[in-house]
Structure 1
């Protein structure tokens, strides 16, 4: 088979395919005897979530599916992207939570990525390989999504998702999905040791741990408290190290929140500035180090 020469002539563009991928946090740290069972379990949990989210069509029509050992990846029709973002990601988080609550085995906590782009799909060897597939895996391995899952409580946060800017712009900002833009946080998606840098968006269905301690409230409580300033709010801002200037929020410690926060979160260690209607992270790693709980210096 000859390898096509780029730029030599025009050719038909492959069909656009949406891509969904997950991998498990700390999979390589498991004892070898657990690798096989966990590798088989992850696609089962994903299919359970697809079933519960009533995405039967997607479950039965995956394109070029692959088990990556510590996760799965598959293509699907782009028309279904709105439903993958909402409600599927939230349902998958619930499925993982229920499994982790009742299982005596290792906890399954996943990173997920959603992307879209032209990929060969003709029921032939090599289907699904291309830049969009590579970028899907790079997003999955990017620093922000790894950092936010590491910072969150393993008891409550079971899934962290990174959404490519193309998907965010077309599906979320386009208003086609039940996922509101204010539930997403812009991040610079970079991968250590790789020449990769893209604009992307984080969505965490169930924030927790020191993220909650730093100021993220349950959705109902957040909506109620946003209607009017709480008593002593200015003193609280001074104590928390955060100050506000119009639509810019500078946070020295803890979590940055703008607008009504439901089941989403932004977390930063150190100083980060946020600008614009939606939240924006600065460059570099926004979460690092061990998970902290309780008072400063207490960790587990």
Structure 2
């Protein structure tokens, strides 16, 4: 017989243990022919496990909590002490693993969105394990408009993974400097999900940026480039953020995502906006990122 459903605020009770949560799903999975759904559904966890091994996270692979195959992806809990290593090097290794697979595969490309979160989650080796607000939020982050827009706008030849990191993980792990992932590699966004009452601050990390992201100064992990020194010694505008360069202030985007400014410091994501009142940025549709970093209001459905 199932346990009785607790009445909220009727009494104090022990807080469930904190568990880190990781989830991925595949871009355009539902657009695949039905005959490919089963094989791709099995392939995604295999690629994730391969990347865990390559990142020397054998302990995490062997100790996943409440793992589940979601059809177009996977989700599992793990020890929060391993969060720094999931952010770096695992996310980068997963991107490399996907890239290696896509380059040699004759089947559909596997490009993933990932989300990383942490919170109190039921974990008692019982049938209800993993169900909690933190689990729900992990999936909402995964479905949020910014991470979808970034992956859709990026080159499928270069960018195989886009990750969204919750504010809680960002504050505790990234700003706490427990990971090698530098804050300047992360872009602050309001995570919203169309049709859902969900709005949270979150952070995007793209291990292998391309397209507009590169033009805006988001650099790949392997290429930390210092700002050039002008030969004539003249000042060339505001100093660049360490590890990032931005050239010019005009972008023309027909569809997708535009990014301007020193990414990771001065940036705003207007999640659902279809109009932009500003200077030197034009697009026909999609999502726009520009200006001083802050959380902006989201617009309606586009």
Q: TM-score when scaled to structure 2?
A: 0.80
The structure 2 residue matched to 1:208, chosen from 203, 207, 210, is: 210
Counterpart mapping for 1:149-228 below 5 A = 149-213=151-215, 216=218, 223-224=225-226, 226-228=227-229
1:97 corresponds to which of 96, 99, 102:
99
For the residue of structure 1 that corresponds to 2:16, the secondary structure is: coil
Where in structure 2 are the equivalents of 1:32-181 lying within 5 Å? 32-181=34-183
- Offset, 1:284: 3.2
SS at match of 2:11: coil
CA separation of 1:70 and 1:110: change in aligned 2, threshold 3 A: same
1:176 alignment partner, SS class = coil
How many correspondences in the alignment?
268
Q: Does 2:275 correspond to 1:274?
A: no
Kindly report the root-mean-square deviation, in angstroms, between the aligned alpha carbons of the 2 structures.
Answer: 2.9
TM superposition shift of 1:215? 5.2
Q: 1:241 aligns with which of 250, 264, 267?
A: 250
Rounded Cα–Cα distance in structure 2 between residues aligned with 1:100 and 1:122: 38
Match of 2:298 in 1: 284
The runs of 5 or more residues in structure 1 that have no matched partner are 243-252, 290-300
- Give CA-to-partner distance per residue, 1:53-106, whole Å, 9 cap, x none: 000000000000000000000000000000000000000000000000000000
Q: Distance in 2 between matches of 1:48 and 1:230?
A: 47
Query: Retained in 2: the 8 A contact 1:17–1:116?
Result: yes
Q: Is the 8 A contact 1:187 1:200 kept in 2?
A: yes
Rounded to whole Å, the distance in 2 between the matches of 1:96 and 1:238 is: 30
Shift of 1:209: 2.5
Which residue of structure 1 lines up, in the alignment, with residue 262 of structure 2? Answer: 258
Contact 2:216 2:262 in 1 (8 A): no
Gaps of 5+ in 2: 238-245, 252-256, 279-288
Distance change >3 Å, CA 185–CA 27, structure 1 → 2: same
**SS at 1:274's partner residue?**
coil
Could you list the per-position Cα deviations for residues 17-64 of structure 1 after superposition, in whole angstroms to 9, with x for gaps in the alignment?
000000000000000000000000000000000000000000000000
**Partners of 1:7 and 1:140 in 2: how far apart?**
30
Residue 230 of structure 1: how far off its partner (Å):
7.9
| Residue in structure 1 matched with residue 286 of structure 2 by the alignment | none
After TM superposition, the score normalised by the length of structure 1 is: 0.81
Higher helix share: 1
Instruction: Answer whether contact 1:223 1:260 (CA < 8 A) is retained.
Output: no
2:16 maps to what in 1?
A: 14
